[in-house]
Amino acid sequence: MTRALDREIARLALPALGALVAEPLFLMTDTALVGYLGAAPLAGLGLASAVLQTIVGLLVFLAYATTPLVARRLGAGDTPGAIRAGIDGMWFALGIGVLLLLAVPLAGPVISLFAADATVSSQATTYLTVSAFGLPAMLLVLAATGLLRGLQDTRTPLIVATVGFAANAALNAIFIYGLDWGIAGSAAGTVVAQWGMAAVYVGIAVRAGRANGVALRPGLDGVRGVAASGGWLLVRTVSLRVALLATTAVATGLGTAPLATIQIAMTLYFTFAFILDALAIAGQALVGHALGSGDAARVRAVTRRLVQLAIGSGVVLGLAIAALAPVTGYLFTSDAAIRAALVPVLLVMAVGVPLGGFVFVLDGVLIGAGDARYLALTGILNVVVFLPLLLLVHDTVSLWAAFGLGYIAARAITLGLRARTDRWMRLGA
C-alpha cells in the first residue's frame, strides 16, 4: 500500500516540483542579474517583488480553488464537468488581470508607502510598472495550472514552466545588459515569458474542451465553484501576505543593506518552499480526487504519507542550506556586507525548513479538501500571533527568526490540530 501510494505521489509531485521551482527561478534570475547592477536596484527589486507577489499571491486561489474543484468532479466521473470548471476559471482569471491593468498608475504611490530612499523607490517603481503588464498572463497561467493539476496532470505544467524559465533568463540578460535597460529590462523579459506561457495554456485548454464537447465561451458554473472557496482562500492568502509585507517593512526600516539581505533570503526560502510545496500540490490533487470518489481511508493514508515525506525532505534541505550558507551570497551580490549578513540568516532558515515542510503539506491537504474557511480564520489568528514578534526585531537574524520560526510555528499548530479531526473530510462531488 505504501509503495503504491509513494509511486502515485511521485507521479504527481516530481513534475510539480520542477514546475514549482521554475516559477521562483523567474525571481531568482531577476535577483541574480539585477544584483550586479548595485545595492539600490537590488533593494528596489525587493520592494517591487513584495508588491507584485502580494497581488499574484492574493489571487493564487485561481489555481488552489480550481484544482480540488476539477479533481472532485474527475473523481466522481464527470470529466466534461471538470474541464468546464477549469475553462471558466481561466476566463475569470483573464477578467481579473485586465481589471488590474487599470491600477498601473498607482505603482509609484504604492511603493512610496515603504518609505525607502528616493533611489530605491525609483528603481522599485520602474520594475513594478513594467511588470504589471504581465499580470493577466500570470493569472491565466495560475488558473490553467489548476485545471491541469485537477486532471492529475503535473507534467504539462513542468514543460511549460521549464521553457518559460529558459526564455525568461535569456530575455532578461539581453534586455538588462545587451540593451542596457537596467531593472526595466528584467521586468520586460519576465512579461514576455509569462505571455508566452499563457498562450500555450490557452491552446491546451481549447484542445481539451473540443475533445470532450465542452463549450469554450465564458460560463458561471466553474466561476461559482472557484468563488465559493476562493473568497475564503483570498482571506487566507491576505493573512500570509500581511506577514510577508510586515517583514519587508521592518527590513526596510533596518536600512538598504538589510533589506537587500532579506530580499535574497526570501527568494531562497520561497524557492525551497516551492520544492516542499510539490508534495502539497500532489496532496491537493489526490485528496480532492479521493473525496470526490468517497474514499475517506485513502484521504487519511495520503495525508499521513505526505507529512512523513515533507518533514524528511525538510531535514535534507535544511542541512544543505546550512552547509552552503558561507558561499550562497556570492550567487546574488558583489556587496561583501550583504554576503556576510546573509550567512547567519541562512543558518536560522535551515533550522525552520522541516517545520515549513509540515506546514506546506497540511495546507495543501486542507485546500484539496475545500476546508478554506478554517484556513482563512486561523490565518488571521496566526498573523495576530506573529506581528508582536516584530517588535522584538533589531537585526536581520532576529527578523528572520520571527518569520521563519515564530510565524511558521503558529501555522503548524493550527494546521496540525485541524488535521487530527475528521471535520474537514466532506465526501462526494
372-386 vs 221-254: helix axis angle to the nearest 10? 10
Q: What is the pLDDT of residue 429?
A: 64
The stretch 19-35 carries a mean pLDDT of 72
Query: Residue 320 pLDDT > 70, yes or no?
Result: yes
Distance CA 214, CA 71 (A): 17
Query: Residue 340 pLDDT > 70, yes or no?
Result: yes
184 vs 21: which has the higher pLDDT: 184
Distance CA 242, CA 250 (A): 12
Determine the 3-state secondary structure of 181 from DSSP: coil
391 domain residue, yes or no: yes
**Contact present, 316 and 20 (Cβ < 8 Å):** no
Given pLDDT bands bounded at 50, 70 and 90, which one contains residue 389?
A: very high
Q: What is the pLDDT of residue 412?
A: 94
Q: What is the pLDDT of residue 227?
A: 65
112 vs 189: which has the higher pLDDT: 189
The stretch 31-46 carries a mean pLDDT of 80
Determine the distance from the C-alpha atom of residue 196 to the mean position of all C-alpha atoms in its chain, rounded to a whole number. Answer: 20
Q: Ranked by mean pLDDT, which of 157-161, 181-185, 328-332, 375-379 comes out on top?
A: 375-379
Q: What is the pLDDT of residue 275?
A: 76
Q: What is the pLDDT of residue 199?
A: 94
Q: Cell 465553484 belongs to which residue?
A: 225
**Contact present, 63 and 190 (Cβ < 8 Å):** no
- Over its C-alpha atoms, the chain yields an Rg (Å, rounded) of 21
Considering the chain, what percentage of its residues have pLDDT values greater than 70? 95
231 domain residue, yes or no: yes
Q: Model's pTM, two decimal places?
A: 0.74
Given pLDDT bands bounded at 50, 70 and 90, which one contains residue 220?
A: low
Write out pLDDT tens, residues 79-106. 888 888 888 888 888 988 999 988 888 8
220 vs 32: which has the higher pLDDT: 32
Task: State whether the Cα torsion 353-357-267-373 is positive or negative.
Answer: negative
Write out pLDDT tens, residues 250-275. 888 888 888 888 888 888 887 777 77
Distances (CA, A) of 165 to 107, 139, 189, 412: 25, 17, 10, 32
31 domain residue, yes or no: yes
Q: What is the pLDDT of residue 278?
A: 82
427 domain residue, yes or no: no
Query: Residue 23 pLDDT > 70, yes or no?
Result: no
428 domain residue, yes or no: no
Query: Residue 298 pLDDT > 60, yes or no?
Result: yes
Grid coordinates in use for 316?
535534507
Write out pLDDT tens, residues 63-73. 887 888 888 88
Query: Residue 362 pLDDT > 90, yes or no?
Result: yes
DSSP characters over 40-77: HHHHHHHHHHHHHHHHHHHTTHHHHTHHHHHHHHHHTT
Residues 6+ apart with CB under 8 A from 174: 185, 189
Q: What is the pLDDT of residue 408?
A: 93
Query: Residue 222 pLDDT > 60, yes or no?
Result: no
429 domain residue, yes or no: no
Helix (H) or strand (E) holding 155: helix 155-173
Distance CA 237, CA 241 (A): 6
Q: Which domain holds residue 106?
A: 2-419
The stretch 378-393 carries a mean pLDDT of 92
426 domain residue, yes or no: no
The stretch 139-143 carries a mean pLDDT of 91
Mean pLDDT, the chain, integer: 85
> What's the total number of domains in the chain?
1
Q: What is the pLDDT of residue 421?
A: 87
Q: What is the pLDDT of residue 271?
A: 76
